C-alpha cells in the first residue's frame, strides 16, 4: 500500500512502500443454506445513494421455500438452477463467523441480473444490511460471456445473500462465497482456560482484531473501514503485543504525522478526503499520548520518537493557542459547518449524545470541557517524557501548557461537592456545572486531576453507581481508559469481573463471533469493532502489566 499526505501538494511527498504485513487471502465457499425464497425477477432501483439496493434486498417480498432440496443440489457440486418461469430465487448462506473479504461467484447465464451482499446479522430470519445508510449490495448483469465475478471492494459480514433474477433463460449458480482477506499474523500468546466464558472472550477478541487488520488497522470492516486515531492507537498496541507485530503501531504514527494539516490538527480518520477535514479534538491529543505509549513499548526506537516530537509540538501549539482566560482550552465542542471549506471540530470523548442512541444519558459538552483538558494534561505529560528522553528542544509556551496548573484549575472548576463527582462541563449561559458521566471521572483520574485517596474514592463511588439511571456509561471503546483508571486507583482485581459483566450481553449471544461497536447494538452499530477487543489485553500477562500513561506526579513540567 502506498500513500501520500492529504495536506501535501501532489509530488511534494513521495509514495511510501508498504510496511505492514501482507494480507492472507483465500477462498471460503458458502456452504450452509439457511433460507431460500422465491422473489420477483424485477427489482428496479428507484434512486441512487443511501443504500437503495440494500433496502430492496432487505425488504422485498419473499415466498419462503423448503431448504432441503436446494441444499442437496448445492452439496452435490452441480450448482443451483433458476428457471425464468419460476421467478427469481433468493439464497441465504451462513458462513458461521464474521469475516472480511469480497463476495465472489460463478454464474452461467445468457441474460438476467444478480443481486448480492454480505450482512453482519439477521432480522426476522433475513439478512439486515441496510444500517446507517451504507450501501453493501451490488448488482451484476449476465451477458453470457465471463461467468466469474468478484467485487472490487471488501466488506465485513457473516451472512451472504445472492438473488438470481432470470430474464428469458435459466441461470446456473455454480460457485458462491467470499475471497477472504486479513493480515498474515499469528498470536504469540496461546491463551487456554478451563473457564468457557474466559476462553470465548479471548477467542472472540482475537478474531475481532484479526478481521480488522487490513493494509492498516481499521475501526471496522464495514461502514467506515478507516484508521481512526483514538481506537487505532489501542488496536495498534494490542496487535504489537498480542502478535509481536509493531509495524501497525509504527505505520499508525507515520501516516498520522503525514496527515497533519498546517494548523497542527489531524483528521480523525487518517485516509480521508473530506472537506472540511473532520477533526475530533480529543483524538489529536490522543496521538500525542500515543507517541509516549510507543516510546515506552519500544524505548530503543528513539529514531521514531525524534520524528514524531515535531509533529506533536505542532499539535500542542493549536491547543496552546486556544487556552482561554480560565487557563483551560476554550473552544466550541460541536463546531460543525459541514460544507466545502467549512469547519468540523468536535470534542468526541465517547459516543453517547453524538451519533448513537443509548438507554442512559449522554455526555454534556460546552466550551469549557473537563475531558478535553484532562486529555491535554495527559498529552503534556507524554510530550514531556519523550522530549526529556532524547533532549528535544521545543518552543511551546510552558506558562500556558502547564499540566500541574491545568489539573488544579480543572479540579477547582469542575468538581461538584454535592455529588462527589466531576461535571462534564460548565454551561456557557448559566455558568453552572453540567453533566455527569463515567468518562469525566475516568479522565479526571488518568489526567491527574484527582489524585491519591481522592482518586480511589472517586473510582470506588463510580463502581457502586455504575447502573445509576442518571449517569452516562462507557461504550467498549472507553473501557480501555476505565480499566487503566481502575489500575491507577488500586482496583486491578475489579477489572475482569467488571469486563465479564459488561461484555456478557455479547458473550451470551450465540451469534456473536466478533465484538460489537457498542453494548447497545443499535441499528447504526457495526458488529465487528476492534476497540472492543480489550478482554484479550487483560487475559495476557503483559497486557495487565503495561501502563497506558505514566504517573503525573513523577513527571516534570515541560521546559
Of residues 129 and 49, the one with the higher pLDDT is: 129
Pick the closest to residue 97 from 170, 7, 30, 3 (CA basis).
30
Task: Give me 279's grid cell.
Answer: 477533526
Please compute the mean of the pLDDT values over residues 408-418 and round it to a whole number.
97
Percent of the chain predicted with pLDDT > 70: 95
pLDDT at 558: 44
Backbone torsion region of residue 37, taken as left when φ is above 0, otherwise alpha when ψ lies between -120 and 50, otherwise beta: beta
Please compute the mean of the pLDDT values over residues 256-265 and round it to a whole number.
96
pLDDT at 48: 65
Element (H, E) at 54: helix 52-59
Please compute the mean of the pLDDT values over residues 456-478 and round it to a whole number.
97
Q: What is the pLDDT of residues 524-540, one digit of tens each?
A: 789 999 999 999 999 99
CATH T-level fold of 23-183:
Jelly Rolls (2.60.120)
* Residues 6+ positions from 324 with CB-CB distance below 8 Å: 330, 367, 368
Task: Give me 141's grid cell.
Answer: 448483469
* pLDDT level of residue 542 (50, 70, 90 thresholds): confident
Give the whole-angstrom CA distance, residue 234 versus residue 477.
9
Q: How many CB atoms lie within 10 A of CB 32?
A: 13
Q: What is the pLDDT of residues 306-357, one digit of tens each?
A: 999 999 999 999 999 999 999 999 999 999 999 998 999 999 999 999 988 8
Q: Do residues 471 and 361 lie in contact, with contact meaning Cβ atoms separated by under 8 Å?
A: yes
pLDDT at 271: 83
Map out the domains of the chain as residue ranges: 23-183, 196-554
Q: What is the pLDDT of residues 53-81, one digit of tens each?
A: 999 999 999 999 999 999 999 999 999 99
Architecture of domain 196-554: Alpha/alpha barrel (1.50)
Q: Do residues 23 and 184 lie in contact, with contact meaning Cβ atoms separated by under 8 Å?
A: yes
Of residues 100 and 554, the one with the higher pLDDT is: 100
Task: Give me 92's grid cell.
Answer: 441465504
Please compute the mean of the pLDDT values over residues 414-418 and round it to a whole number.
95
* Out of 233-237, 247-251, 406-410, 547-551, least confident range: 547-551
Radius of gyration in angstroms for the set of CA atoms belonging to the chain, rounded to a whole number: 25
Q: Do residues 37 and 189 lie in contact, with contact meaning Cβ atoms separated by under 8 Å?
A: no
User: What's this model's pTM, rounded to 2 decimal places?
Assistant: 0.94
- Is the pLDDT score of 400 beyond 70? yes
* pLDDT level of residue 134 (50, 70, 90 thresholds): confident
Task: Give me 77's grid cell.
Answer: 457440486
To the nearest whole number, what is the mean pLDDT of the chain? Answer: 93
- Is the pLDDT score of 241 beyond 70? yes
* pLDDT level of residue 549 (50, 70, 90 thresholds): confident
- Is the pLDDT score of 4 beyond 50? no
CA distance between the termini of the chain: 39
Q: How far is CA 414 from CA 176, 365, 433, in A?
A: 58, 13, 7
Amino acid at each position: 500500500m502506498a500513500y501520500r499526505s492529504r495536506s501535501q501538494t501532489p509530488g511534494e511527498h513521495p509514495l511510501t512502500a508498504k510496511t505492514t504485513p501482507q494480507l492472507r487471502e483465500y477462498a471460503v465457499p458458502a456452504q450452509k443454506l439457511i433460507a431460500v425464497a422465491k422473489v420477483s425477477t424485477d427489482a428496479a432501483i428507484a434512486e441512487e445513494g443511501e443504500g437503495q439496493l440494500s433496502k430492496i434486498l432487505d425488504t422485498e417480498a419473499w415466498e419462503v421455500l423448503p431448504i432441503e432440496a436446494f441444499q442437496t443440489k448445492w452439496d452435490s457440486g452441480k450448482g443451483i438452477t433458476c428457471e425464468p418461469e419460476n421467478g427469481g430465487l433468493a439464497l441465504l448462506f451462513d458462513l458461521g463467523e464474521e469475516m472480511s473479504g469480497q463476495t465472489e461467484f460463478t454464474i452461467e447465464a445468457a441474460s438476467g441480473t444478480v443481486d448480492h451482499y454480505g450482512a453482519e446479522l439477521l432480522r426476522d430470519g433475513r439478512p439486515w444490511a441496510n444500517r446507517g445508510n451504507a450501501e453493501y449490495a451490488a448488482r451484476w448483469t449476465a451477458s453470457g460471456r465471463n461467468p466469474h465475478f468478484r467485487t472490487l471492494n471488501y466488506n465485513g459480514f457473516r451472512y451472504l445473500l445472492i438473488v438470481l433474477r432470470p430474464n428469458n433463460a435459466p441461470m446456473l449458480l455454480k460457485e458462491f462465497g467470499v475471497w477472504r482477506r486479513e493480515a498474515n499474523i499469528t498470536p504469540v500468546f496461546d491463551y487456554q482456560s478451563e473457564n468457557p466464558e474466559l476462553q470465548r472472550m479471548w477467542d472472540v477478541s482475537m478474531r475481532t482484531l484479526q478481521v480488522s487488520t487490513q493494509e492498516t488497522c481499521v475501526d471496522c470492516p464495514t461502514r467506515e473501514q478507516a484508521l481512526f486515531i483514538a481506537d487505532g492507537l489501542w488496536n495498534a498496541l494490542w496487535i504489537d503485543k498480542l502478535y509481536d507485530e509493531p509495524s501497525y503501531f509504527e505505520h499508525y504514527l507515520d501516516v498520522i504525522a503525514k496527515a497533519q494539516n498546517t494548523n497542527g490538527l489531524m483528521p480523525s480518520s487518517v485516509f480521508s478526503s473530506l472537506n472540511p477535514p473532520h477533526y475530533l479534538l480529543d483524538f489529536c491529543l490522543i496521538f500525542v499520548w500515543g507517541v509516549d505509549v510507543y516510546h515506552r513499548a519500544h524505548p530503543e526506537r528513539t529514531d521514531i520518537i525524534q520524528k514524531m516530537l515535531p509533529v506533536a509540538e505542532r499539535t500542542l501549539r493549536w491547543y496552546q493557542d486556544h487556552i482561554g482566560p480560565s487557563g483551560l482550552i476554550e473552544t466550541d465542542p460541536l463546531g460543525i459547518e459541514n460544507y466545502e471549506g467549512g469547519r468540523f471540530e468536535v470534542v468526541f470523548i465517547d459516543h453517547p449524545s453524538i451519533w448513537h442512541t443509548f438507554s442512559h444519558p449522554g455526555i454534556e459538552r460546552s466550551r469549557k470541557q473537563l475531558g478535553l483538558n484532562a486529555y491535554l494534561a495527559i498529552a503534556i505529560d507524554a510530550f514531556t517524557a519523550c522530549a526529556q528522553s532524547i533532549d528535544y528542544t521545543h518552543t511551546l509556551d510552558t506558562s500556558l501548557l502547564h499540566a500541574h496548573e491545568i489539573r488544579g484549575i480543572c479540579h477547582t472548576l469542575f468538581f461538584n461537592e454535592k455529588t462527589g463527582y466531576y461535571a462534564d462541563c460548565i454551561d456557557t449561559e448559566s455558568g453552572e456545572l453540567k453533566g455527569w458521566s463515567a468518562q469525566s471521572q475516568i479522565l479526571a483520574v488518568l489526567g491527574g486531576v484527582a489524585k491519591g485517596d481522592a482518586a480511589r474514592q472517586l473510582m470506588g463511588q463510580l463502581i457502586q453507581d455504575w447502573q445509576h439511571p442518571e449517569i452516562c456509561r462507557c461504550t467498549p471503546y472507553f473501557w480501555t481508559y476505565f480499566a487503566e483508571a481502575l489500575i491507577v486507583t488500586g482496583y486491578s482485581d475489579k477489572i475482569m469481573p467488571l469486563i465479564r459483566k459488561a461484555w456478557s450481553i455479547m458473550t451470551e449471544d450465540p451469534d456473536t463471533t466478533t465484538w460489537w461497536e457498542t453494548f447497545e447494538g443499535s441499528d447504526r452499530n457495526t458488529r465487528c469493532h476492534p476497540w472492543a477487543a480489550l478482554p484479550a489485553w487483560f487475559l495476557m500477562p503483559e497486557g495487565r502489566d503495561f501502563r497506558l500513561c505514566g504517573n503525573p506526579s513523577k513527571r516534570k513540567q515541560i521546559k
